[in-house]
Amino acid sequence: MKSNNQGVRVAVAIFVILAGIIYLAISGQQANKSYYVTIAELHGMGNKAYTRHLRVAGNVLPGTIQHTGTNADFTLVENGLKLPVVYHGEEPPPDTFKDNAQALAIGTYGRDGVFHATQLQAKCASKYAPKAPGAAPAATASAVLKPVSEQR
């Protein structure tokens, strides 16, 4: 009878541990979920915009970047719609964060009409621009595939 009682206790303990792990996994996934929206969609979300963790992309409006230590205030623009952003992060904005750069702000939208970002990603505008028609490519495949001794 003692061994049967001990088996029930072990089974209950295993069940409690598994239930706790499942709960932590589900709640952690919900906390890290963020919705990608455009500026137009953000303005049309209503009260849902204030309760969700969001990702908003746009181009940095020239002349709006103001750095203060690791923080930055700027405005994103997309199809004529503007979104003021306040970035308060642990790291300074990336080096590619400049006027006209494509930026992705991750954070929450406040009732004050300002997006409060805790993470910031930026692409270099010139790096991803298409080449001008008729421009020569930077390197040909044959030059890249030749051994070093043949390239000299």
Is 84's pLDDT higher than 90?
Answer: yes
pLDDT tens digits for range 8-57: 888 899 999 988 888 887 776 655 556 788 888 888 888 888 888 889 98
Residues linked to residue 71 through DSSP beta bridges, in sequence order: 68
SS3 89: coil
Pick from 60, 50, 39, 36: nearest CA to 122: 60
Q: Cβ distance 70 to 86 under 8 Å?
A: no
Largest CA distance in the chain: 88
Question: What is d(CA 87, CA 124) in angstroms, rounded to the nearest whole number?
Answer: 19
pLDDT digits (tens, 9 = 90+) for 131-147: 666 655 554 444 444 44
Cα gap 106→116, rounded to integer Å: 8
Question: Closest by alpha carbon to 104, among 39, 40, 47?
Answer: 39
Rounded to two decimals, what is the model's pTM? 0.60
